[in-house]
Structure 1
Amino acid sequence: MAKNLIPEAKQGLNNLKMETARELGVNFSDYNGNLTSKECGSVGGEMVKKMVSAYENGLK
């Protein structure tokens, strides 16, 4: 399991994960063993896209 460099960000990242999963139609819950790697990867990839976009917009 990855170590959080900023523990205070954990809840914000979890909120982003759940929001992104809802947008993609992926049913995240407390147990996600029934999800495919593709489903989980799509959520993670979309989260990264959103974070990069937010960073780039902050630079403008």
Structure 2
Amino acid sequence: MAQGQQRNRALFRGAEQALDRFKYEVAQELGIQVPQDGYWGDMPTRLTGAVGGHMVRRMIALAEQQLAQQGTLPPVSQQIPGQQTR
């Protein structure tokens, strides 16, 4: 990460390491050759964006699944108009 761009910090201990492992797992699933030295700056934006996008999709799906199991999803009448429901 470039100097001066360190505003995004993990809120919980161990979260950075877990997200890093998750990043490599998603990249492997997508068939993206991960850099051996850990520096992603030489990779095309399209590839790194794909990894980040898939990470977000999986985290949202997991959160939705957990909310559904807890029974805390809002009723359909209270959901945002135009929002897709699953």
Q: TM-score per shorter chain, which class?
A: 0.7 to 0.9
- After TM superposition, the structure 1 = structure 2 runs for residues 1-60 of structure 1, keeping only pairs within 5 Å, are 1=6, 2-29=8-35, 30-60=38-68
SS at match of 1:7: coil
Which of the two has greater helix per residue? 1
Structure 1 segments, 4+ long, off by >3 Å, are: none
- Per the TM alignment, residue 31 of structure 1 is displaced from its structure 2 partner at its CA by 2.1
Task: Report the number of matched residues.
Answer: 60
So what's the TM-score if we normalise by structure 2? 0.62
Q: Pick which of 7-16 and 40-49 moved more.
A: 7-16
What one-letter code is carried by the residue in structure 2 that aligns with 1:42? A
Higher relative contact order (CA 8 A, sep 6+): 1
- Per the TM alignment, residue 51 of structure 1 is displaced from its structure 2 partner at its CA by 0.2
Where does residue 73 of structure 2 map in the other structure? none
The percent identity for this pair of structures is 35
Superposition RMSD in Å? 1.3
Q: Structure 2: which 5+ runs fail to align? A: 1-5, 69-86
Structure index of larger Rg? 2
So what's the TM-score if we normalise by structure 1? 0.85
